[in-house]
């Protein structure tokens, strides 16, 4: 396990969509997050490519001076449907390898709005926290209430003792 949440965040993994969504506030939040990362000299780890919200946050962070690492499974790079990765690209064999590399290269996680694939990755990291595989902070940037229903679900699951407070 690399990193400790008690230390300054130097590398943050951002989970977000490869689409833009309908709400212009999602793009605005992605741009703002990229600027904040660059201003605070925090390096970005993300899923690679340059589509959607991932493209905005990675481009703005990179242009602002942050180091950017896109971690991407080889199968996703075939056909070039994700566009060019901003910054350095690390290709891995599988999605599970990607999650492990994201964990190894980050000492915190934050999520912007996303779809089902990124939901799975975000929950993988959260479940590993619950299993004490890591103790790194995980946050949701709840842009315009995007995660409200998810947060309600998580609160209910916690109330029913299906989720520990460590997650």
The stretch 8-31 carries a mean pLDDT of 95
pLDDT tens by residue, 73-85: 988 877 666 678 8
Q: What is the pLDDT of residue 3?
A: 44
Q: What is the pLDDT of residue 128?
A: 94
Strand pairing category for 108-111 and 138-140: parallel
pLDDT tens by residue, 78-132: 766 667 888 999 999 999 999 999 999 999 999 999 999 899 999 999 999 999 9
pTM over 0.75: yes
């Amino acid at each position: 396990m690399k990193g400790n949440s008690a230390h300054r965040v130097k590398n943050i993994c951002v989970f977000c969509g490869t689409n833009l969504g309908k709400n212009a506030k999602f793009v605005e939040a992605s741009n703002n997050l990229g600027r904040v990362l660059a201003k605070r000299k925090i390096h970005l780890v993300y899923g690679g490519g340059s589509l959607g919200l991932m493209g905005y946050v990675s481009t703005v962070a990179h242009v602002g001076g942050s180091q950017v690492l896109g971690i991407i499974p080889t199968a996703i790079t075939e056909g070039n449907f994700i566009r060019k990765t901003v910054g350095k690209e690390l290709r891995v064999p599988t999605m599970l390898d990607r999650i492990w590399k994201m964990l190894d290269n980050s000492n915190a996680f934050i999520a912007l709005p996303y779809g089902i694939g990124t939901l799975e990755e975000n929950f993988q990291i959260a479940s590993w926290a619950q299993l004490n595989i890591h103790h790194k902070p995980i946050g949701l940037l709840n842009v315009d209430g995007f995660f409200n229903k998810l947060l309600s679900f998580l609160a209910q699951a916690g109330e029913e003792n299906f989720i520990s407070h460590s997650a």
